[in-house]
């Protein structure tokens, strides 16, 4: 499955810092400062309208991170960005290790049981305390399948666009 054009959520703008347009951000990269290496950032200005921002500088500040975006020089301009999600192009991220996947790469895969029964496509995933969960939709039904490789998820074929799961189609 191609990754071109896909975006990955890596953080969020959560507040203001000072009066010169600096922003507080939350990062979901590891380590958290890695977010500054993935540029340009893609910020959604309005539904379907994405602003591409490069040249971002940032640093740790206390328990959080702060950044400065080019062209954002005052508190009012910065305030308009609070709450925006920070996405980057999937191509900017390193290749995952063996049996590791970026969630965005799994979205859209066809899901079938080990017996070949089609269950639908991966809509999205979410984390729980115990394990991640794959949300599979077929248009009329939604199934929640634990993303536990070897137990429930038997195989993932990104190039073939398919995930095989050991799951009861009636559940």
pLDDT in tens, the chain (171 residues): 455 578 999 999 999 999 999 999 999 999 999 999 999 999 998 888 899 999 999 999 999 999 999 999 999 999 999 999 999 999 999 999 998 999 999 999 999 999 999 999 999 999 998 999 999 999 899 999 999 999 999 999 999 999 999 999 998
pLDDT on residue 48: 84
Question: Left, alpha or beta for 10 (phi > 0: left; psi -120 to 50: alpha)?
Answer: alpha
What is the rounded CA–CA span in Å between residue 11 and residue 31?
12
Please check whether residues 66 and 86 belong to one and the same domain.
yes
Total domains in the fold of the chain: 2
| Last-in-domain residue among 65, 91, 117 | 91
What is the rounded CA–CA span in Å between residue 73 and residue 92?
27
| Last-in-domain residue among 40, 61, 91 | 91
For the residues of 72-91, what is the DSSP string, one character each?
Answer: --SHHHHHTTTT-EEEEEGG
pLDDT on residue 46: 80
């Amino acid at each position: 499955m191609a990754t071109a054009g896909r975006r990955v959520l890596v953080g969020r703008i959560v507040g203001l810092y000072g009066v010169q347009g600096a922003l507080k951000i939350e990062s979901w990269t590891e380590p958290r400062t890695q977010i500054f290496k993935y540029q340009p950032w893609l910020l959604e200005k309005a539904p379907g309208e994405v602003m591409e921002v490069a040249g971002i500088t940032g640093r740790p500040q206390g328990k959080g991170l702060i950044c400065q975006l080019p062209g954002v020089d005052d508190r009012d301009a910065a305030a308009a960005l609070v709450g925006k999600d920070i996405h980057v192009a999937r191509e900017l991220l390193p290749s995952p290790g063996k049996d590791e996947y970026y969630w965005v790469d799994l979205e859209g895969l066809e899901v079938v049981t080990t017996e070949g029964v089609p269950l639908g496509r991966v809509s999205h995933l979410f984390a729980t305390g115990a394990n991640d969960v794959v949300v599979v939709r077929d248009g009329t039904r939604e199934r929640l399948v634990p993303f536990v490789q070897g137990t429930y998820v038997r195989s993932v074929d990104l190039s073939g666009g398919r995930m095989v799961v050991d799951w009861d189609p009636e559940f």
